[in-house]
Amino acid sequence: MATVLALDKDPLQVDLLSVLLKSDRHVPLTASDPDRAFAILESEIVDMVIVETVLPRHDGFRVCQQIRQARPDIPIIILSERGGDEQIVRGLLAGADDYVTKPYSPRELLARIHAVMRRSDLVSRNRTIGGLRVGELALNLHQMHLSVNGAHVELTPREFSVLHVLMTNANRVLSRDQLMRLAWGTSFDGLPKTVDVCIQRLRQKLLPRLVHGDYIHAVRGFGYRLEKPRTETVTVARGAFQTVSMIADLDTA
């Protein structure tokens, strides 16, 4: 069960969404304008936000960016009458975790809500007391240092901030602008290329100490994503397959 804030200008759509969320045992909160939505975010414990991009006197994509900036950890789904690849890409770059166009299938929307919440729970489980952990990476926020497989890795403050944002948003693509804003603040006056340089230096420091491969991936046309390599799973599976093969050989010998 999750508390879901729905921001939509259409009262009928809000009512329908509320009924759907209640049928899946979620708690719906509703707002018809961004000011009310931000007031709810400040006063209530909200687990997810659903945003319509067509809002009176407001750019819904910009509102999505503002929510992401205020709450980097909260899952966001755009539920919009605007379709098309360009709009979807714009929504994802604005900070949404998923994009659903109207009219939508109720079952599909609930499935997408569950999927986004699962990814959010994975990030929450990666949190440790005073830090974050994703696979071989352990970030200590009290002592401000990184450990990779138990070995200390020296980072600059700028590198530390970028890695912190990437680990907090593990498995989600962040644009260069998002990384700059979340890691270094809105007052940072730099070029997106600065992010590329910082990522390159992070990789140079991390890769020699990683056993299972790179964690930071460039997503062409979007930005960067930090994701735990799947090599561990593949290695286990390959080992199991080899064991089965050896048993089969013995049986036929």
Which stretch of DSSP H or E encloses residue 16? helix 11-23
Strand (E) positions, 70-219? 76-80, 98-101, 127-128, 131-134, 137-140, 145-148, 151-153, 174-175, 216-219
Given a contact cutoff of 8 angstroms between Cβ atoms, the answer to whether 4 and 28 are in contact is yes
Same domain flag for 67 and 165 = no
| pLDDT at position 215 | 93
State the CATH number of the domain containing residue 22: 3.40.50.2300
| pLDDT at position 231 | 55
| pLDDT at position 171 | 85
Same domain flag for 159 and 60 = no
| Domain-embedded: residue 187 | yes
State the CATH number of the domain containing residue 150: 1.10.10.10
Task: Give a three-class secondary structure readout of 153-186.
Answer: ECCCHHHHHHHHHHHHCCCCCEEHHHHHHHHHCC
**Owning domain of residue 184:** 129-231
d(CA 249, CA 253): 6
d(CA 158, CA 145): 12
| Domain-embedded: residue 207 | yes
| pLDDT at position 130 | 56
| pLDDT at position 252 | 41
Q: Which residues pair with 223 in a beta bridge?
A: 175, 219
Same domain flag for 113 and 135 = no
| pLDDT at position 234 | 38
| Domain-embedded: residue 119 | yes
Is-above-0.85 flag for pTM? no
| pLDDT at position 3 | 86
Same domain flag for 164 and 64 = no
Examine the fold and report which residue of 125, 142, 162 is the final residue of a domain before the chain moves on: 125
| pLDDT at position 242 | 41
| Domain-embedded: residue 249 | no
Number of domains in the chain: 2
Burial class (CB in 10 A: 0-12, 13-18, 19+), 194: middle
| pLDDT at position 162 | 92
Same domain flag for 117 and 135 = no
Same domain flag for 96 and 159 = no
Examine the fold and report which residue of 78, 109, 125 is the final residue of a domain before the chain moves on: 125
pLDDT by 10-residue block (mean), the chain, 253 residues: 86 90 90 89 85 84 87 85 83 88 88 82 52 84 83 91 88 86 78 91 93 90 86 41 37 41
